[in-house]
Amino acid sequence: MKQHRLSQVKSMARSVREGRLDRREFMALASIWGMSASAAAGLLGASASPAAAQEPKKGGVLRIGQQILDINDPRTYDWPQKSNVARQFCEPLVRWEADGSFSPSLLSGWEVSDDAKTYTLSVNTKAVWNNGDPFTADDVIFNIRRMADATAEGNSMAARLAALREGDATQAADSAIEKVDEQTVRLNLFMPDITLIPSFGDYPALCVHQSFSGQLQDNPIGTGGFELVSFSIGDKAVLKRREDGKWWGGEVYLDGLEFIDLGNDDTAFIASFEADEIDMNDETASNIEEVFNALGLQRGVALTATTAVARMNVKAAPFDNQTLRNAVQIGVDNELVTELAIAGLGSVADNHHVAPVHPEYAEVPRKPHDPALANEMLTESGNADTEIELISIDEGELKDFADSVAAQLRDAGFNMTRRTLPGATFWNDWTKYPFSTTSWGGRPLGVQVYAVAYKTGEAWNETGYSNPEFDAKLNEALGIFDPDQRRPLMAELEQMLQDSGVIIQPYWRELAMHHTDRVQNYVRHPLREMHLEKVWLES
């Protein structure tokens, strides 16, 4: 790490010791610039070594209750469930660890210039594809180019790698990705971007073989510790320990994995735990956690920027009217939604989608709940008699969230209707509804959230929000490493998004799951990612 950057990291370490910066935030920022977790922990006067544990046992099949969704092309993944299956045999360049740091995976390391415009990536030469091919710099380049392709439908990675494209180009520029040698790739960005390493650790960033043809399940070549045996959407995915034993991280402990689709009904998971049909689930809804706890299961939890939004699409009438959108916002009490949707197991949010756990978070209070004023603004917008439909899935947190919003708006005089859809139907078109509730996983940096969710024209911009001033300020913020320096810009961005009225974003919540006491060495991840290489089963 360069001396200038090391000085900045040391300054942030002092901020942690003085209580001005959270430890998780520090670990994330230090590792983005290439500092190892042990070195970062050393600056805090702590050891990064894990506590002593039991001797792992080899063998057994881990059974996981989780939806089985299409895994055809990783760069289009819009739910962690897809990546949880694929991650077991395909890996990212960088891994986002549960402690907030970023560690090498298919890269062995990286260096970042002071201006965040030049990234030098070192290739993990120990990695081997499960068809016997070595993992090389050409594989890194192949994957980065396909991730940066803005013409690929549903490719959310294109938003994350926009700095590799010049102007309005849809492909990474030839000059942006440089093969230095067989072990080194250099990225030359057109604008600074501090989120590049975190983006390589996001769940749609799994790397595929150069022979990839668009259907990963049909030709599951990967570098991971497991191999895909069988896959059936809505039913089951089966994996086994890699036969050739050439996983670069060493041999995994488990004989295999079974992902079993139990739908979205919590009672099905409860019954499966009671019948000893599964060892762990993917997620436990806040409003039923007590039932899972009563089964004697172990609770895993991560403190995150996980949330949900009731979002209005500005491209669909009547939500092209900002006065109406602002009326909807102040017609809803975020505290009440938090209580009704997640049983109060979270903290109240302020309708701008940047969390207190984000290092650049700025406190921008929302406008107070005011049903009478909301009704006046509804009339002012010309929509007093307009039927407003709120759409959600037909069960769970997002349904309860939508029910609460609709009831409050109805009480404020809005002509509200509700429509619920089965999850499989709803998620096929989740970005297209005029008014609906959706869930969002957390990201390490607030600027990451804004880049994928609210920047003009990006694949996950479900509100259709488009503001050139917002985009320009976001681009500026993406080039500022120091969170204290980035925070004033973040305050402006938060205010702009909040004022636009495109979302009701009522809470931040813990991300919980449950498993039996047979499951050992499993750590809950802040984005529901499952890292299972070193998990083992007690007899």
Beta strands in 278-414 (DSSP E): 280-281, 298-312, 346-348, 387-393
Task: Match 């992902």 to its residue by tokens.
Answer: 259
pLDDT single digits (tens) 39-98: 766 767 665 444 445 799 999 999 999 999 999 999 999 999 999 999 999 999 999 998
Q: What does the alpha-carbon distance between residue 347 and residue 229 come to, in Å, rounded to a whole number? A: 42
Please check whether residues 215 and 351 belong to one and the same domain: no
Is residue 428 in a domain?
A: yes
Please check whether residues 491 and 524 belong to one and the same domain: no
Q: Give this prediction's pTM.
A: 0.85
Is residue 156 in a domain?
A: yes
Please check whether residues 236 and 336 belong to one and the same domain: no
Please check whether residues 145 and 228 belong to one and the same domain: yes
* CATH number of the domain bearing residue 344: 3.10.105.10
Is residue 123 in a domain?
A: yes
Please check whether residues 21 and 60 belong to one and the same domain: no
323 CB contacts (<8 Å, ≥6 apart)?
377, 380, 381
Please check whether residues 242 and 338 belong to one and the same domain: no
pLDDT single digits (tens) 322-341: 999 999 999 999 999 999 99
Please check whether residues 402 and 450 belong to one and the same domain: yes
Please check whether residues 247 and 330 belong to one and the same domain: no
Is residue 296 in a domain?
A: no
Of the candidates 453, 478, 449, the residue with the CA atom closest to the CA atom of residue 465: 453
Tens digit of pLDDT per residue, the chain (539 long)? 555 556 666 666 666 666 666 666 677 677 776 766 667 667 676 654 444 457 999 999 999 999 999 999 999 999 999 999 999 999 999 999 988 889 999 999 999 998 999 999 999 999 999 999 999 999 999 999 999 999 999 999 999 999 999 999 999 999 999 999 999 999 999 999 999 999 999 999 999 999 999 999 999 999 999 999 999 999 999 999 999 999 999 999 999 999 999 988 889 999 999 999 999 999 998 878 889 999 999 999 987 789 999 999 999 999 999 999 999 999 999 999 999 999 888 899 999 999 998 989 999 999 999 999 999 999 999 999 999 999 999 988 999 999 999 999 999 999 999 999 998 899 889 999 999 999 998 888 999 999 999 999 999 999 999 999 999 999 999 999 889 999 999 999 999 999 999 999 999 988 899 999 999 999 999 889 999 999 999 97
C-alpha of 262 from chain center: 22
Cβ contact 359:483 at 8 Å: yes
Is residue 295 in a domain?
A: no
C-alpha of 80 from chain center: 7
Range of the domain at 150: 56-279+516-539
Please check whether residues 493 and 534 belong to one and the same domain: no
Please check whether residues 25 and 75 belong to one and the same domain: no
Alpha carbon distances (Å) from 98 to 68, 394, 425, 448, 526: 23, 31, 32, 18, 6
Is residue 297 in a domain?
A: no
List the beta bridge partners of residue 260. Answer: 65, 236
Is residue 290 in a domain?
A: no
318: cis peptide before it, omega within 30°? yes
Q: Rg for the chain (alpha carbons), in Å?
A: 23
Is residue 286 in a domain?
A: no
Task: Match 């710099």 to its residue by tokens.
Answer: 137
pLDDT of residue 22: 65
Task: Match 């919540």 to its residue by tokens.
Answer: 509
Backbone angles phi, psi at 200, to 5 degrees: -70, -15
Please check whether residues 373 and 262 belong to one and the same domain: no
Mapping DSSP onto H, E and C, the string for 26-50 reads HHHHHHHCCCCHHHHHHHCCCCCCC
Chain length of the chain: 539
pLDDT of residue 285: 85
| Two tokens, residue 335 | 């505290």
- Three-state secondary-structure class, residue 439: strand
Percent of the chain with pLDDT over 70: 91
Please check whether residues 249 and 397 belong to one and the same domain: no
* CATH number of the domain bearing residue 188: 3.40.190.10
| Two tokens, residue 323 | 């006065």
Looking at the 3D structure of the chain, how many domains does it have? 3
